[in-house]
C-alpha cells in the first residue's frame, strides 16, 4: 500500500510526537470538562453510566485522528516516476590490433599469452557499451578479423575465435598490423579514434615500416596505445614443430622492441604499457578503459503524484463527523 511513497517535507512528521502528549493531557483533564455537582453522600443514588456517556471519548479520538492525518498531509506524501533518456555526445571507435604469431603461445602468462589476452580483451569489450570496436590480427601479414561494429556479441565471438593455426605467415609485422588498423579507422566520423596495438616481439616481417604506419595514424588523428606482452628474461615458448604437427616448447629469450612501441605511442598521443603477467595485463586494459571515456548525457524526467489530498479529505470527514455527533447525540453532555 505504501510502497514507493515518500514525504517531500518529512520534518512535519515530528509534529506527530505531540499527539501522545495531547492524548495524555485529555486523559488527566477529561473530568474537568464536565459540570460537577458536590453532595455529601451518594448513598441515595444508584450510579449508572449511560451508553452515550461511555462513548463520549470517541469525539476526542476522532479529532486526534484528524490532527494526525493533517500532519501527514503537511509532510506531502507522494510517489515519483522517473524516466531517463541518454544521449551519447562523444562516441569512440576502437580497433584492437592483436599479434597472433606463434610466440603468443608462450606460457609466461597463464595458460599462455594469447588466451590470457582474449580473456582480458573480452572484459574490455563488455565495458565499452557505447563505442564501436573492430579487430585486426597480424603475424607475418595482417587482415581485418571484424570491421568496426557496435555489436559487442560479434566482437567477442570473433575475439574468442582467434587462435594460431598457421593460416597466415608467421612473424611479427607490427607496421602492417598498425597500417591495417589505421585503414579501418581513417574514414570514421567518431569524435575519437583509438588503436590498441599489442605485440610480444620485434618487427621482423611485412613491407610497411612501423614508423610510416604511425605517421598515417597521426595524419588521421588516431591515438595509439601500445602494449608489449611478455615477462622479463626467458619464457617457455614454441621453438619448432614435432612430427605429429604439434609445437615443441623450449626456453627462449623475450625480445620486445620497446623503443619502437614507445615511439608509436608518443607520436600518436597515446601511451606505452608493458604487461609482464596476467594481473599487469588486466591493469593495463583497465587503465586504457579509464583514459578513453565516452561522454554520455543523461536526461531524467520526474513525474510526481501527490498523495496528500485523500488525507485532507479524510481528516475533514472525521472533523465533520465529530462536529455532527457533538451537536446531536452528545449535545446534552457538553
Q: What is the pLDDT of residues 101-155, one digit of tens each?
A: 989 999 999 999 999 999 999 999 999 988 899 999 999 999 999 999 989 999 9
User: Is 47 or 289 the better-scoring residue by pLDDT?
Assistant: 289
Q: CB under 8 Å to 142, separation ≥6 — which residues? A: 97, 136, 168, 173, 176, 177, 179, 180, 206
User: Is 266 or 67 the better-scoring residue by pLDDT?
Assistant: 266
Nearest 5°: the CA angle 102, 108, 113 is: 45
Tens-place pLDDT, residues 249-258: 899 999 999 9
Q: CB under 8 Å to 7, separation ≥6 — which residues? A: 13, 75, 76, 77, 78
pLDDT bin (cut points 50, 70, 90) of residue 43 is: low
Q: Please, is 244 exposed, middle or buried when counting C-beta atoms within 10 Å of its C-beta (0-12, 13-18, 19+)?
A: exposed
Domain boundaries along the sequence of the chain: 5-33+48-82+304-333, 92-293
Architecture field, domain 92-293: 3-Layer(aba) Sandwich (3.40)
* Residue-level pLDDT at 90: 61
User: By C-alpha distance, which of 321, 308, 99, 288 is closest to 206?
Assistant: 99
| For residues 221-240, average pLDDT | 92
pLDDT bin (cut points 50, 70, 90) of residue 3 is: low
> Scanning the structure block, which residue is given the C-alpha cell 515519483?
80
Give the distance from CA 47 to its chain's centroid: 75
User: Is 282 or 297 the better-scoring residue by pLDDT?
Assistant: 282
Tens-place pLDDT, residues 165-203: 665 678 899 999 999 999 999 999 888 899 999 999 999
* Residue-level pLDDT at 49: 54
Query: How many other CB atoms are there within 10 angstroms of residue 268's CB atom?
Result: 25
Tens-place pLDDT, residues 70-103: 888 888 888 877 776 655 556 799 999 999 998 9
* Residue-level pLDDT at 164: 78
- pTM here is 0.64
Looking at the predicted structure, is the pLDDT value of residue 297 above 80?
A: no
pLDDT bin (cut points 50, 70, 90) of residue 37 is: low
* Residue-level pLDDT at 98: 96
pLDDT bin (cut points 50, 70, 90) of residue 324 is: confident
CA distances from 329 to 104, 316, 334 (A): 96, 19, 10
CA distances from 49 to 52, 61, 62, 333 (A): 8, 20, 22, 12
124-127: long-range contacts (C-beta < 8 A, 24 or more apart)? 124/285, 124/288, 124/289, 125/152, 125/155, 125/156, 125/159, 126/152, 126/156, 127/289
Mean pLDDT taken over the chain? 85
CA distances from 332 to 47, 56, 70, 266 (A): 18, 11, 29, 98
* Residue-level pLDDT at 76: 86
* Residue-level pLDDT at 163: 84
Q: What single-letter DSSP state applies at residue 196? A: E
**What are the grid coordinates assigned to 92, written together?**
569512440
Amino acid at each position: 500500500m505504501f510502497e514507493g511513497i515518500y514525504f517531500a517535507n518529512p520534518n512535519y512528521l515530528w509534529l506527530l510526537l505531540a499527539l501522545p502528549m495531547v492524548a495524555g493531557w485529555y486523559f488527566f483533564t477529561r473530568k474537568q470538562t464536565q459540570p460537577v455537582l458536590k453532595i455529601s453522600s451518594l448513598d441515595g443514588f444508584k450510579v449508572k453510566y449511560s451508553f452515550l456517556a461511555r462513548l463520549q471519548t470517541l469525539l476526542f479520538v476522532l479529532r486526534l485522528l484528524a490532527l494526525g492525518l493533517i500532519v501527514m498531509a503537511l509532510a506531502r506524501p507522494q510517489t515519483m516516476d522517473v524516466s531517463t533518456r541518454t544521449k551519447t555526445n562523444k562516441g569512440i571507435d576502437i580497433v584492437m590490433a592483436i599479434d597472433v604469431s606463434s610466440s603468443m603461445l608462450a606460457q609466461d602468462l597463464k595458460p599462455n599469452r594469447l588466451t590470457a589476452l582474449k580473456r582480458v580483451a573480452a572484459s574490455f569489450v563488455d565495458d565499452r557499451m557505447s563505442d564501436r570496436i573492430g579487430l585486426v590480427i597480424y603475424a607475418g601479414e595482417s587482415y581485418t578479423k571484424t570491421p568496426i561494429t557496435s555489436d559487442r556479441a560479434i566482437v567477442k565471438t570473433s575475439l574468442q575465435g582467434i587462435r594460431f593455426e598457421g593460416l597466415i605467415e608467421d612473424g611479427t609485422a607490427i607496421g602492417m598490423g598498425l597500417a591495417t588498423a589505421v585503414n579501418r579507422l581513417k574514414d570514421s566520423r567518431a569524435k575519437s579514434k583509438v588503436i590498441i596495438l599489442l605485440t610480444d616481439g620485434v618487427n621482423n616481417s611485412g613491407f610497411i615500416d612501423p614508423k610510416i604506419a604511425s605517421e598515417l595514424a597521426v595524419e588521421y588523428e588516431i591515438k595509439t596505445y601500445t602494449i608489449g606482452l611478455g615477462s622479463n628474461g626467458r619464457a617457455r615458448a614454441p621453438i619448432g614443430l614435432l612430427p605429429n604437427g604439434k609445437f615443441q616448447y623450449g626456453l627462449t629469450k623475450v625480445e620486445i622492441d620497446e623503443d619502437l612501441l614507445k615511439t608509436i605511442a608518443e607520436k600518436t598521443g597515446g601511451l606505452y604499457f608493458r604487461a609482464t603477467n596476467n594481473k599487469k595485463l588486466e591493469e593495463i586494459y583497465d587503465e586504457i578503459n579509464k583514459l578513453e571515456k565516452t561522454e554520455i548525457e543523461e536526461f531524467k524526467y520526474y513525474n510526481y503524484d501527490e498523495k496528500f489530498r485523500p488525507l485532507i479529505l479524510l481528516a475533514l470527514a472525521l472533523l465533520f463527523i465529530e462536529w455532527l455527533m457533538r451537536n446531536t447525540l452528545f449535545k446534552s453532555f457538553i
